[in-house]
Amino acid sequence: MKKIVLLSTVVSTMLLATNGDVMIGHGPKSTGMAGVGIAVSHGAESALSNAAMIRSVKNSEFTGSATMFAPDVNFASNAGANATPAEQGGAYPNSAPTSFSKSDADFSIIPDFSYATRLNEHTVVGLTIDGTAGLGVDYQGKRSSGAFDMQTALQIAKVGVPIAYTLPNSGLTLAVEPIMQYSTLKMNYMTPMGASSNSEESSVDFGFELGMAYDIGNWTFGAVYQSIIKSNYKGNISNALRDFGIQSITSGDNLDQPAETGVGIAYRKDRSTFGLDYRSIHWRDTKGYEDFGWKDQDVIAVGYRYDAPSWVLRLGYNHGDSPIRERNAQAGGQEGYENAAINFFNLSGFPATVEDHYTIGGDYKLADNLDLSFAFVYSPETTTTFDTTGMTQGMVMQGAMAQGASEADAGAAAAGASGSTASVAHSQKALTLGATYRF
């Protein structure tokens, strides 16, 4: 099974169309409606949106798809501009940054496979293998950005077994879905405190999803809960924290995937379906993300579907404020340094800053039992700038002491250092192609 899950992740160097690091949708049908799927059924593909919605499968159904992402991420920071370079006897190994540099992690492919079959009048079961989350950048060799050669790759895939049961003589469906998650993380960088050579570490972990759907006339109401899934990456995070001089993180090498809660509503009229989803992603109480100051994220998705006899049109909009919160980088002393370093680390390594997603998608019916599907996602550019003054002051002090200055003189030099910032500009495009076969 591990090899099957690995297939869903190794082909990507991910920076996805995401809320935080969670993909907005699973498969072309959900993605075409901007992730709407808590109260709108997409057949077998619904397994990770709301397992209760696989109830629409009449016999058996298989969906396969591939998503091609083209993120555009650019970073610049002058956090080390006032520190003395290593070639002059200081601690800073790079030249002062002069411009934005583009991340080389600018293309990835994610496959998705979902199957569902009806056991009887009331019960549908399924299997899904899906790349569900990820982030990553690559600034190796791009010294002008001031990114410290940052290279990150977080990749997450899930195997789920949804079971949906519709109560007799009722519009109520309940569902449970055991989930196995396979994830990998790799981080490398070059800082004044040390250069890394971390290998990719993997983690196999388990969680579950609970789902509900209820019909009243032309209306459907849905609710979903996804459990937290714990993950540990054996040295990648703790090594980075040490080399960035961050001492306040208590979660070690844990970087768990957060719990999610959501509700949805859908209305059907003739050939049209309107859907609205609200999800809350609980970053704040999740090991790893809580230490880096991520806040809970409220996500709103609205979608529309028009069903013609031989084709389907989908449209959608998804919004979730960036979960990354700026910390006070001018607090002074170790606190100011660590806050600044976390600001820098979030924007350079895990820039989950895109907030708006506009989508279009559709199906074309090749035969009664075979559809081709597509979805296109566009996320306009956001530019985010955080204060890194405390980080600059810390490196100035290290550089001065490396040249023989007393601690008092080095502290005075640090206090006189000018302020600094880190900035990331981030936009995304994604195309998903897939097919559904009913039998």
In this structure, what DSSP letter does residue 290 have? T
Residue 380 CB neighbours (<10 A): 12
The answer to whether residue 194 scores a pLDDT higher than 80 is no
Task: Return mean pLDDT, the chain.
Answer: 88
pLDDT of residue 17: 62
Identify the bridge partners of residue 360 per DSSP, sorted by sequence position: 315, 376
Q: Mean pLDDT, to the nearest integer, of 129-152?
A: 88
For the chain, how are helix, strand and coil distributed in percent, rounded to 5? 20, 45, 35
Q: Mean pLDDT, to the nearest integer, of 172-185?
A: 97
Q: Mean pLDDT, to the nearest integer, of 53-82?
A: 91
The answer to whether residue 223 scores a pLDDT higher than 90 is yes
Strands of 289-399 (E only): list them.
Answer: 297-307, 311-320, 356-367, 370-387
Residues 6+ apart with CB under 8 A from 401: 407, 410
- What torsion do the CA atoms of 281, 287, 289, 291 make, to the nearest 10 degrees? 140
CA distance 184 to 337: 29
Identify the bridge partners of residue 275 per DSSP, sorted by sequence position: 266, 303
Structural domains for the chain: 2-438 (2.40.160.60)
The answer to whether residue 119 scores a pLDDT higher than 60 is yes
- Tell me the H-state helices in 244-388: 333-349
pLDDT of residue 85: 54
257 or 93: which carries more pLDDT confidence? 257
The answer to whether 42 and 29 are in contact (CB under 8 A) is yes
Q: Mean pLDDT, to the nearest integer, of 72-93?
A: 68
pLDDT of residue 362: 97
Residue 174 corresponds to which amino acid? Answer: L
When pLDDT is cut at 50, 70 and 90, the band that residue 78 belongs to is confident
Identify the bridge partners of residue 216 per DSSP, sorted by sequence position: 219
Instruction: Mark residue 35 as left, alpha or beta (left: phi above 0; alpha: psi -120 to 50; beta: remaining).
Output: left
253 or 377: which carries more pLDDT confidence? 377
DSSP-assigned states of every residue in 400-427: HHHTT--HHHHHHHHHTPPP-EEEEEEE
Q: Mean pLDDT, to the nearest integer, of 98-111?
A: 87
CA distance 331 to 43: 52
Distance of CA 361 to the CA centre of its chain: 21
pLDDT tens readout for residues 279-331: 999 999 999 999 888 999 999 999 999 999 999 999 999 999 999 999 999 88
How many Cα atoms within 13 Å fall on the side-chain side of residue 138?
12
